[in-house]
Structure 1
Amino acid sequence: MSFSSIPILDLSEARNPATKPAFLDSLRHALLEVGFLYIKNTGVDEKLIQKVIEEGKRFFELPDEKKLEIEMKNAPSFL
């Protein structure tokens, strides 16, 4: 894996038939070659994004035993 910057993908390009193929190529590259990416123009409200970030912080501040109460290792939809 070699890259010089985090891939930034514009989700609005996925909604446009003219740019969708290039978007999908970029998405595939980011996921298979880099392993992560940043998506912009998601259409998700900024207030919701901030709420999710805050809830994530609260979760990771919990003691391990509390986090293990919701462990999903045996869930069929969890790899």
Structure 2
Amino acid sequence: MDDGEVHGRWLRLLNRSTGEAGYRDEWFDEQCGGCRFWIALRGELGLDWGVCTRVDSPFDGRVRFEHDGCERFAVREDGTFG
């Protein structure tokens, strides 16, 4: 199985997509990749994917796309992304 196949399969798990009609402007700055509870995977998939570690998030322990998001977002103190 290659990374492209995994990436395509996991994209179906998105909670929010910037291409959706109902995507709110404020969500743009609240993407998983900028959350202090998001930990990037290693290798090629780690360029776009990580794991949520926020215990009170519905996505705790799940693989998340860096541009996805949820209502439990918490900005990283150093302001980094990804």
- The TM-score with structure 1 as length reference comes to 0.23
Higher helix share: 1
Higher strand share: 2
- The TM-score with structure 2 as length reference comes to 0.23
